[in-house]
Amino acid sequence: MAEQRLSPHSRRREAGHRLSVLVPRPFAGPLDYKFDTPLAPGTVVRVPLGRQEIVGCVWEAEPTHLPVDLRPPRSSRHVAFGSLRAIISVETRIPALPETLRHFIDWVAAYGLSAPGMVLAIALRVPAQGGGMKPMLGWARKAGPLPESLRLTPARNAVLAALEAHGPASTAALSAQSGASAAVIRGLAHAGVLEESVLEGSPMSATPPEPDYAPPILSAEQAEAAHALIEAVEERAFNVTLLEGVTGSGKTEVYFEAVAAALRQGRQVLVLVPEIALTTQWTERFAKRFGTIPAIWHSDLGQKARRETWRAVADGQQRVVVGARSALFLPFAALGLVVVDEEHESTYKQEEGVLYHGRDMAIVRARLAGAAAILVSATPSMETLVNVQKGRFRHEVLESRHGPACMPEISLIDMRDHGPERGLFLSPLLCESIEDGMKAGEQSMLFLNRRGYAPLTLCRACGHRIQCPHCAAWMVEHRRRRILACHHCDYTQPLMKACPACEAEDSLVPIGPGIERIHEEVQARFPEARLLVMASDTLTSPAAMEEAVRKIAQKEVDLIIGTQIVAKGWHFPDLTLVGVVDADLGLGGGDLRAAERTMQLLHQVAGRAGRGSKPGRVMLQSYVGDHPVMQALIENDFIRFMEQEAAQRRPGFWPPYGRLAAVIVSAPKETHAEALARHLALNGPHGEGMEILGPAPAPLALLRGRYRFRLLLRTRRDIALQPVLRHWLAGVTCKNDARIDVDVDPVSF
Ligand code: ADP
Ligand code: ZN
């Protein structure tokens, strides 16, 4: 059926109407069908495809809304009207996709050279599916009388009254209804008064958020920034503002004022956060400010909840959505504001399937909707800073932390001189500081961005290193789960006793630390300390995450040991010391963006310290103390660091000073992949201002059993990549199960 391609405008014929329909399949464009009545673009329909029946969407016949450079080539094939198959039915239970969303889908596809149908599939995944329910959990009153020991504070009474009045609800909803904090609710659960319960309804608020519910008193600096953001929203036209502010400066409070402005206009707001785990704390803050919870959107929510949210967003009832990047594909009826929190985060990049950068596409989404966009960060990406310099983005800055909190003092522990004894990973200096903190009743955090026990297992007898059979990667020991796991595919194997190469017994040794190993070291060093490990594989559910946050807030924890999950926007006022176990970790690997990324991550994690009334300290363990990243961190000179980075990238036209696309050629056989990559390089585009680099083995030269070679196409900023790429790759045929994947604006290079 792939022969039914783009056609000129639908024309009235005796037998009915010719309509373009985009289906969720990897074709180059929409297919033509016939139907006896005309249907407006956006109408969701059921159509035959081969022997299947699938759900698709009536589409514009020609993507004239795209800039010429991005427009995919038209197909010359035209199916005669008589041979067209008919649309089976109109899906009346699914609201039509708004024009802004359709244009956005075309944009994402054209920019990333993806098939538009595969992008549509993201947007239709939820409404077009039935079944597959995953429950949404909340709190209910446990049956039976209240425990006698229970102290009934006014806040606790308010929670019980809210449950009585409205029935089971999520933490955030309950908090909004009762005015009690989440800690009070969790305290009641702890006391055995509440139990977890499956919520029947949606996680949405019944009441719309109120822009004037509980506005904070802003500092002069905050008020000024908020004012500018409010004005940006009130223009009712596309514009982008970078809200830059040190960690703890109150960026959230400030952009909430822009949210309020959009609400007053009766428009909708989308807030993207880089990590699902962060939505809990965010939702509570939102509820305090606006009196009700926002809709939450991410893949861990139940089907039913997501379907209802989808509808409520489409009919404009749901006013505010917070979520992961896939929320960009919700059918907003009247979008007025898009916020990208922690805009520099590389987690915004979708790295599988349809590739797109959530931040960049958020800007496109805002532009197509005539909405304001706000990018929020303490350490903006170089892309964003360049856009500010060029005057494309506005810029608002918060210079100081809110209230009494001041910026933490950052110091370096030179591990060459002050490292620990062999086999240990925490320097005596860091341990002393932890001890001092504990004596003072303060909390500390150790940060190491590596899950598991040890990143490498080595045979002392023969030197063999245990590698994933499917990837060019070492197997990571996870001692608690008693396995070796590949962090790039899902391959695992049980821990072994003997070396698989030389069969020597008891010769395998773990090399280097993961957080399990740091946990072990801390346990031995501070047996009395109350420890909490936070990593994506120990905190697997939102409930587990909430419980961890509760423990920290109620000071049931002395020391937190965590991966990048703890680095993000958390606000723990009693946390005064942050120790970075291996500050050098992200710097290896020859990636030009490594320094920028390490800088952003370490700055972010440092920002967790000293957010309350007590001053914070950050200690970086490093073997490369004179590295520009370490120097910038201890001198707190982010601007100079970024200038140095810019100076390195500008001459070679590296992003953001030029454009870049990675072309990854992969095949089950190395020779096949390499031959195709060489062929591509030889027949590549050439001309003024463009260059092909490679082929070279890709950063992961073997992944899931496929050998990978990478070519980079780098062009000057004023040259559009997409037509060059399309022309280059158009005639290429892939044999031997080889594949070509294109990644426009790769995150690492
Ligand atoms: P950032 O996102 O810049 O790191 P947050 O928005 O998390 O900072 O603010 C840090 C803390 O200060 C939060 O607990 C926040 O509620 C509080 N805060 C910031 N501004 C105000 C204000 N104007 N009034 C009351 N609390 C504020
Ligand atoms: Zn693997």
Question: Could you please report the per-residue DSSP string of 285-349?
Answer: HHHHHHSSPPEEESTTS-HHHHHHHHHHHHTT---EEEE-GGGGGS--SSEEEEEETTTT-GGGE
Output the CA 700–ligand 2 centroid distance in Å: 10
Minimum-distance ligand to the CA of 474?
2
Report the atom number in ligand 1 closest to the C-alpha of 217. Answer: 23
Q: Which of 181, 253, 275 to mutate to test the pocket of ligand 1 (most atoms within 8 A of CB)?
A: 253
Output the CA 397–ligand 1 centroid distance in Å: 15
pLDDT score recorded for residue 61: 87
Binding site membership of 248 for ligand 1 (Cβ less than 6 Å):
yes
Binding site membership of 455 for ligand 1 (Cβ less than 6 Å):
no
Phi first, then psi, for residue 328 (nearest 5°) are -60, -25
Binding site membership of 216 for ligand 1 (Cβ less than 6 Å):
yes
Binding site membership of 218 for ligand 1 (Cβ less than 6 Å):
yes
Annotated binding site for Zn(2+): 459, 462, 468, 471, 486, 489, 499, 502
CA-based nearest residue to 255, from 290, 281, 280: 290
Binding site membership of 250 for ligand 1 (Cβ less than 6 Å):
yes
C-beta atoms surrounding 79 within 10 Å: 18
Output the CA 596–ligand 2 centroid distance in Å: 27
Kindly report the protein residue whose alpha carbon is nearest to atom 9 of ligand 1: 250
Output the CA 229–ligand 1 centroid distance in Å: 17
Report the atom number in ligand 1 closest to the C-alpha of 253. Answer: 6
Binding site membership of 245 for ligand 1 (Cβ less than 6 Å):
yes
Kindly report the protein residue whose alpha carbon is nearest to atom 4 of ligand 1: 248
Report the atom number in ligand 1 closest to the C-alpha of 247. Answer: 4
C-beta atoms surrounding 464 within 10 Å: 17
Binding site membership of 251 for ligand 1 (Cβ less than 6 Å):
yes
Sequence-separated (6 or more) residues with CB below 8 Å from residue 188: 139, 156, 159, 160, 194
Minimum-distance ligand to the CA of 249?
1
Kindly report the protein residue whose alpha carbon is nearest to atom 5 of ligand 1: 250
Output the CA 703–ligand 2 centroid distance in Å: 6
Minimum-distance ligand to the CA of 700?
2
Output the CA 492–ligand 2 centroid distance in Å: 8
CA angle centred on 485, ends 482 and 489, rounded to 5°: 155
Report the atom number in ligand 1 closest to the C-alpha of 285. Answer: 16
Kindly report the protein residue whose alpha carbon is nearest to atom 17 of ligand 1: 250
Q: Which two tokens stand for residue 233?
A: 């929203």
Binding site membership of 571 for ligand 1 (Cβ less than 6 Å):
yes
pLDDT score recorded for residue 75: 63
**465-492: burial string, b at 16+ Cβ within 10 Å, e else:** ebbbebbbbbbbbbbeeeebbbbbbebe
Output the CA 471–ligand 2 centroid distance in Å: 4
| Contact yes or no for 243/249 (Cβ under 8 A) | no
Q: Which two tokens stand for residue 51?
A: 């022997």
Binding site membership of 247 for ligand 1 (Cβ less than 6 Å):
yes
Binding site membership of 249 for ligand 1 (Cβ less than 6 Å):
yes
Binding site membership of 402 for ligand 1 (Cβ less than 6 Å):
yes
| Contact yes or no for 749/593 (Cβ under 8 A) | yes
**Segments of the chain with pLDDT less than 70:** 1-15, 74-77, 130-137, 198-206
Kindly report the protein residue whose alpha carbon is nearest to atom 2 of ligand 1: 251
Q: How far, in Å, CA of 537 to CA of 540, rounded? A: 6
Minimum-distance ligand to the CA of 243?
1
Report the atom number in ligand 1 closest to the C-alpha of 573. Answer: 14
Which element (helix H / strand E) includes 524? helix 515-525
Residue 443 gets which letter from DSSP?
E
Q: How far, in Å, CA of 512 to CA of 652, rounded? A: 36
Binding site membership of 610 for ligand 1 (Cβ less than 6 Å):
no
How would you class 132 by CB atoms within 10 Å of its CB: exposed for 0-12, middle for 13-18, buried for 19 or more?
A: exposed
Kindly report the protein residue whose alpha carbon is nearest to atom 1 of ligand 1: 248
Residue whose tokens read 């990324």:
597
State ipTM.
Answer: 0.97
Kindly report the protein residue whose alpha carbon is nearest to atom 19 of ligand 1: 250
Output the CA 284–ligand 1 centroid distance in Å: 13
Output the CA 401–ligand 1 centroid distance in Å: 8
Sequence-separated (6 or more) residues with CB below 8 Å from residue 461: 499, 502, 504, 507
Q: Which of 252, 340, 570, 608 to mutate to test the pocket of ligand 1 (most atoms within 8 A of CB)?
A: 252
Report the atom number in ligand 1 closest to the C-alpha of 246. Answer: 3
Q: Which of 257, 398, 402, 572 to mutate to test the pocket of ligand 1 (most atoms within 8 A of CB)?
A: 402
Q: How far, in Å, CA of 184 to CA of 577, rounded? A: 27
